[in-house]
Amino acid sequence: MSTKVLLLLIAIFTTINSSAQKLEKFFIDADEFFKKWVVEGNINYSKLQSHYDEIENLHIQISNANLSDATEEEKKAFYINTYNILVIQQITKHYPIKSALDQSGFFDKFNHKVAGEMMSLDRLEKKNLILKYKDPRIHFALGCAAISCPKLANFAYSPETIEHQLNNNTRKSLNDSNIISVDHTHRKLAISKIFDWYHSDFGNTKKGVLNFINQYRDKKIPESFLLEFQEYNWELNPYSN
């Protein structure tokens, strides 16, 4: 093997190793951030403004991330964490606002640099997560800074434990009356608009929706129950303590 080829291989290995280390650092820093700032699914945006450097550090890591040699588990965890961080970053930057919808284009017009590529939150959610992985549990891992959103987890999703984390978080969401409200007296079920907006991810039928819900419900819902969709409350989810 020539010296030139050997040096090239060393350079390639060094680059790959450096990228892996940076990605690992992102997961560690993101986990510390969520543990510190997420309380009962909510964020103290006012207080976070005074510590904006913490989220800006993550923002920079997201921009510069190299996913060329990342595993699918690493990419999936990276994009979920990235979505949640960018929502928080964008709300904090424009706080005080009463809702993400107060900022025109919050989800579909504002672009962010993610792993070297410019994209909106909407594109990140749909193209990089929903359409790619076809995993409906992802809907309950993403926070949109609204009261009707599934509660934001106080941890970062990790490539090593993402399956367990997604299962647990989906179970918590589907046993939360904010997402699934059961009226046993009138045999009715009021469910999140998420099941309406993304109906194809849940089988396009009432039976498909109920089958998915009952996988994670502690108390199963009978098929005879009438199914309704809740009004979505886009009011912001601040935590004030």
What's the number of domains the chain is made of? 1
Report the 10 Å Cβ neighbour count for 115.
19
SS3 content of the chain, % helix, strand, coil (to 5): 55, 10, 35
pLDDT tens digits for range 184-236: 999 999 999 999 999 999 999 999 999 999 999 999 999 999 999 999 999 99
Has residue 92 been placed in a domain? yes
Mean pLDDT for the chain? Answer: 92
Euclidean distance between CA atoms 179 and 82, whole angstroms:
23
pLDDT for 1: 62
Could you tell me which residues are beta bridge partners of residue 229?
191
CA-CA-CA-CA torsion for 162, 167, 169, 171, nearest 10 degrees?
A: 180
Euclidean distance between CA atoms 187 and 58, whole angstroms:
46
pLDDT tens digits for range 135-146: 999 999 999 999
Has residue 3 been placed in a domain? no
Which residue, among 168, 192, 169, 167, has the nearest Cα to 182 in the 3D structure? 192
pLDDT tens digits for range 173-186: 999 999 999 999 99
User: Would you tell me the crossing angle of helices 206-216 and 162-174 to the nearest 10 degrees?
Assistant: 110
Has residue 238 been placed in a domain? no
Has residue 19 been placed in a domain? no
Has residue 21 been placed in a domain? no
Has residue 165 been placed in a domain? yes
State the residue for tokens 């060094």.
14
Arithmetic mean of pLDDT, 12-38: 83
Euclidean distance between CA atoms 197 and 139, whole angstroms:
11
pLDDT tens digits for range 120-166: 999 999 999 999 999 999 999 999 999 999 999 999 999 999 999 99
The conformation of residue 235, written as its DSSP 8-state character, comes to: B
Has residue 234 been placed in a domain? no
Has residue 181 been placed in a domain? yes
- Residue-range definition of the domain harbouring residue 218: 26-229
Outline where the chain has alpha helix (H): 3-37, 45-49, 52-64, 72-94, 121-125, 131-133, 162-174, 194-197, 206-216
Which residue, among 25, 23, 131, 136, has the nearest Cα to 75 in the 3D structure? 23
| One-letter amino acid of 159 | P
